Protein backbone atom coordinates (compact mmCIF):
# COMPACT_ATOMS: atom_id res chain seq x y z
CA UNK A 1 0.00 0.00 0.00
CA UNK A 2 1.37 3.41 -0.96
CA UNK A 3 1.24 6.27 1.55
CA UNK A 4 -1.19 9.07 0.71
CA UNK A 5 0.19 12.03 -1.22
CA UNK A 6 -1.44 14.55 1.10
CA UNK A 7 -0.34 14.86 4.71
CA UNK A 8 -2.82 13.88 7.41
CA UNK A 9 -2.23 17.22 9.09
CA UNK A 10 -1.69 20.44 7.15
CA UNK A 11 -0.26 22.36 10.11
CA UNK A 12 1.51 21.34 13.34
CA UNK A 13 -1.34 22.75 15.46
CA UNK A 14 -3.74 20.24 13.86
CA UNK A 15 -1.58 17.33 15.04
CA UNK A 16 -1.32 18.92 18.47
CA UNK A 17 -5.11 19.33 18.74
CA UNK A 18 -5.51 15.70 17.69
CA UNK A 19 -2.95 14.55 20.27
CA UNK A 20 -4.58 16.60 23.05
CA UNK A 21 -7.93 15.00 22.25
CA UNK A 22 -6.48 11.49 22.31
CA UNK A 23 -4.66 12.25 25.58
CA UNK A 24 -7.73 13.68 27.32
CA UNK A 25 -9.80 10.71 26.18
CA UNK A 26 -7.08 8.35 27.41
CA UNK A 27 -7.30 9.98 30.84
CA UNK A 28 -11.03 9.24 30.88
CA UNK A 29 -12.12 12.87 30.77
CA UNK A 30 -14.62 12.14 28.00
CA UNK A 31 -15.70 9.14 25.94
CA UNK A 32 -15.27 8.74 22.20
CA UNK A 33 -19.06 8.88 21.89
CA UNK A 34 -19.09 12.25 23.66
CA UNK A 35 -16.24 13.40 21.43
CA UNK A 36 -17.97 12.28 18.23
CA UNK A 37 -21.13 14.11 19.26
CA UNK A 38 -19.20 17.31 20.10
CA UNK A 39 -17.25 17.23 16.83
CA UNK A 40 -20.34 16.41 14.78
CA UNK A 41 -22.26 19.29 16.34
CA UNK A 42 -19.39 21.68 15.64
CA UNK A 43 -19.13 20.59 12.01
CA UNK A 44 -22.88 21.06 11.61
CA UNK A 45 -22.80 24.67 12.82
CA UNK A 46 -19.40 25.66 11.44
CA UNK A 47 -19.60 24.13 7.97
CA UNK A 48 -17.36 26.80 6.43
CA UNK A 49 -14.45 26.13 8.78
CA UNK A 50 -11.80 23.54 8.03
CA UNK A 51 -12.12 20.13 9.64
CA UNK A 52 -9.42 20.84 12.22
CA UNK A 53 -10.82 24.29 13.01
CA UNK A 54 -14.04 22.46 13.87
CA UNK A 55 -11.97 19.89 15.78
CA UNK A 56 -10.32 22.62 17.87
CA UNK A 57 -13.63 24.38 18.53
CA UNK A 58 -15.18 21.07 19.65
CA UNK A 59 -12.21 20.40 21.91
CA UNK A 60 -12.54 23.84 23.50
CA UNK A 61 -16.25 23.30 24.09
CA UNK A 62 -15.93 19.82 25.58
CA UNK A 63 -13.10 20.98 27.87
CA UNK A 64 -15.37 23.75 29.16
CA UNK A 65 -18.41 21.48 29.40
CA UNK A 66 -16.40 18.97 31.45
CA UNK A 67 -15.16 21.84 33.66
CA UNK A 68 -11.49 21.19 32.87
CA UNK A 69 -11.15 24.88 32.04
CA UNK A 70 -13.51 27.83 32.32
CA UNK A 71 -14.38 30.05 29.39
CA UNK A 72 -12.47 32.86 31.08
CA UNK A 73 -9.37 30.66 31.44
CA UNK A 74 -9.63 29.57 27.80
CA UNK A 75 -9.82 33.17 26.57
CA UNK A 76 -6.89 34.16 28.80
CA UNK A 77 -4.82 31.30 27.37
CA UNK A 78 -5.69 32.31 23.80
CA UNK A 79 -4.65 35.88 24.61
CA UNK A 80 -1.37 34.69 26.17
CA UNK A 81 -0.53 32.58 23.09
CA UNK A 82 -1.35 35.50 20.81
CA UNK A 83 0.97 37.78 22.80
CA UNK A 84 3.70 35.13 22.75
CA UNK A 85 3.33 34.74 18.98
CA UNK A 86 3.69 38.49 18.45
CA UNK A 87 6.83 38.49 20.64
CA UNK A 88 8.44 35.64 18.70
CA UNK A 89 10.55 36.27 15.59
CA UNK A 90 9.22 34.66 12.41
CA UNK A 91 10.37 31.08 12.01
CA UNK A 92 11.17 30.57 15.69
CA UNK A 93 9.14 28.33 18.03
CA UNK A 94 6.50 30.18 20.01
CA UNK A 95 7.07 29.95 23.75
CA UNK A 96 4.24 30.77 26.12
CA UNK A 97 6.81 32.28 28.50
CA UNK A 98 7.17 35.12 25.97
CA UNK A 99 3.54 36.15 26.45
CA UNK A 100 4.55 38.99 28.77
CA UNK A 101 7.46 40.15 26.59
CA UNK A 102 5.40 42.80 24.82
CA UNK A 103 2.79 45.29 25.87
Q: What torsion, rounded to 10 degrees, do the Cα atoms 50, 55, 60, 62 define?
A: 140
CA 11 to the chain's CA centroid = 12
Rg of the Cα atoms in the chain = 16
Render each residue's pLDDT in the chain as its tens digit; 103 residues: 556 677 788 888 899 999 999 999 999 999 999 999 999 999 999 878 899 999 999 999 999 999 999 999 989 988 988 888 888 888 888 887 766 755 4
**How many whole angstroms separate alpha carbon 71 and alpha carbon 63?**
9
Q: Is the pTM of this model over 0.85?
A: no
**How many whole angstroms separate alpha carbon 84 and alpha carbon 45?**
30
Amino acid sequence: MNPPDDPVFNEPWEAQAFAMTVSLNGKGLFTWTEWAEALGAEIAVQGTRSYYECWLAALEKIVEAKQMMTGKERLARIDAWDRAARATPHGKPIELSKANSIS
